Amino acid sequence: MYSSIIPILAWGLVLAICALAWIKGGRPERLGIVFVLVAALVAMAIHRFASEEWKPLLLLVDEALLAMGFLFLALRYTSVWLGGAMILQAVQFSLHAYYLVADRAHDRLYSTINNIDTLGVLACILVGALMSARNRAASGK
Q: Is the dihedral of CA 110, 116, 120, 126 positive or negative?
A: positive
Mention every residue, 6+ apart, whose C-beta is less than 8 A from residue 76. Answer: 28
Q: What is the pLDDT of residues 118-130, one digit of tens each?
A: 889 889 888 888 8
pLDDT over threshold 80, residue 2? no
| Confidence tier at 73 by pLDDT (50, 70, 90) | confident
| Confidence tier at 54 by pLDDT (50, 70, 90) | very high
Residue 141: per-residue pLDDT? 59
Mean pLDDT of 29-50: 91
